[in-house]
Structure 1
């Protein structure tokens, strides 16, 4: 684990899930198994090949259409509420220490959020944010929040990085990108960003970096 020297950067782009918010994909896999999908991993892969998840993350299909796509993997239709509960099971806590850190860094640097996410997850974690921390959204911690489902692009596509840089007026050479997915790190570096691969799978958090 290495420390980030804030003096080297004027701007920081943060990923959300796995970086700010804790995630556990196995909980969603387990939840779908309990709904009657014992081979969820195989079905998950098959659905991914149909671009269901990517399209949902780009906002190209609605939550209703996404649920319909998920239901095609089941023999019997599953209620929307149960599907959403299983889909949201991966969303864990948002540690207050990380929010405090973001507030501290924002006093000196420009922070933006860039997340591959979907409308079902946004509704869930914003609801939890309000319940646990009293905030309706993440605008109190970032200059701008970019959700893939609302900009029609997703990481690691180069166009989403260019979009953020252009919208914010950021110089890539002065901007750090932090993400826990290696493919996103590679995509960021292709457009000239400094990128740090946060090893959340090894217990590393942003608290270790600053």
Structure 2
């Protein structure tokens, strides 16, 4: 079997409120204002596909939020999204590999985060056979092409794959293609699925 794991809130806990909190402190803009203005809009999606640079993404996001931050300040906030590794998920991934299954990570991510998580959470890459990243593939979930490409590269059919993601829209997109999807609601979802 092919087991496909999302990264954020599946393998690593993430929290966008932390990002906005750092930007609020650095810009002097109230957190409530930034929370209201922040959206995962077109610039966000383009950045995750690798279509725009980190600097352009930072500038466009600051413009949308109405704040002035240096690139370094923006980056400091952006990296604070990561909270902690989920050891139970890592243990499941390692166990699946030991049983002879193929285990991959499929993440909507961006170049800026590549400066952070591989260093701080090396267990992610160590527990997977391959890591597929949206900005390297030029396509992002829930676009069907990203799933087709992973299946093709791995040599599995859709009915031989199970996909874990915390976003229902991504799961629905995978299920349309015939991949079994599991919405990850909390730390217990994955261990309970395999128990």
TM-score (norm 2): 0.89
Paired position in structure 1 for 2:134: 148
Q: How many residues align?
A: 190
- Unaligned segments of structure 1, at least 5 residues: 1-9
Give the Cα separation in 1 of the matches to 2:68 and 2:21. Answer: 18
Give the Cα separation in 1 of the matches to 2:23 and 2:76. Answer: 9
Q: 1:127 aligns with which of 110, 119, 123?
A: 119
Give the Cα separation in 1 of the matches to 2:66 and 2:11. Answer: 36
Q: Is the contact made by 2:5 and 2:104 (CA closer than 8 Å) also made in structure 1?
A: yes
Paired position in structure 1 for 2:98: 107
Deviation at 1:114, TM superposition (A): 0.4
Label 1:104 to 1:187 Cα distance change in 2 as closer, same or farther (>3 A). Answer: same
Q: Secondary structure at the match of 1:34?
A: helix
Give the Cα separation in 2 of the matches to 1:89 and 1:75. Answer: 20
Q: Does 1:19 align with 2:10?
A: yes
Q: Give the structure with the larger strand fraction.
A: 2
Paired position in structure 2 for 1:170: 156
Matches within 5 A, 1:1-210: 10-36=1-27, 37-38=29-30, 39-45=33-39, 48-49=40-41, 51-73=42-64, 77-108=68-99, 109-130=101-122, 138=125, 140-200=126-186, 203-210=187-194
- Unaligned segments of structure 2, at least 5 residues: none
Query: Which digits, 9 at most, give the CA deviation of each residue in 1:129-166, with x for residues without a partner?
Result: 25xx6xxx71x322211000110000000111111111
Query: Which digits, 9 at most, give the CA deviation of each residue in 1:44-97, with x for residues without a partner?
Result: 13xx44x01000000101111112212324666312221111112211111344
* Cα RMSD, aligned residues only: 1.8
Query: Which digits, 9 at most, give the CA deviation of each residue in 1:100-141, with x for residues without a partner?
Result: 3311111121111100011111221112125xx6xxx71x32
Q: Is the contact made by 1:19 and 1:205 (CA closer than 8 Å) also made in structure 2?
A: no
Q: Secondary structure at the match of 1:92?
A: strand
Give the Cα separation in 2 of the matches to 1:170 and 1:128. Answer: 31
Give the Cα separation in 2 of the matches to 1:158 and 1:187. Answer: 7
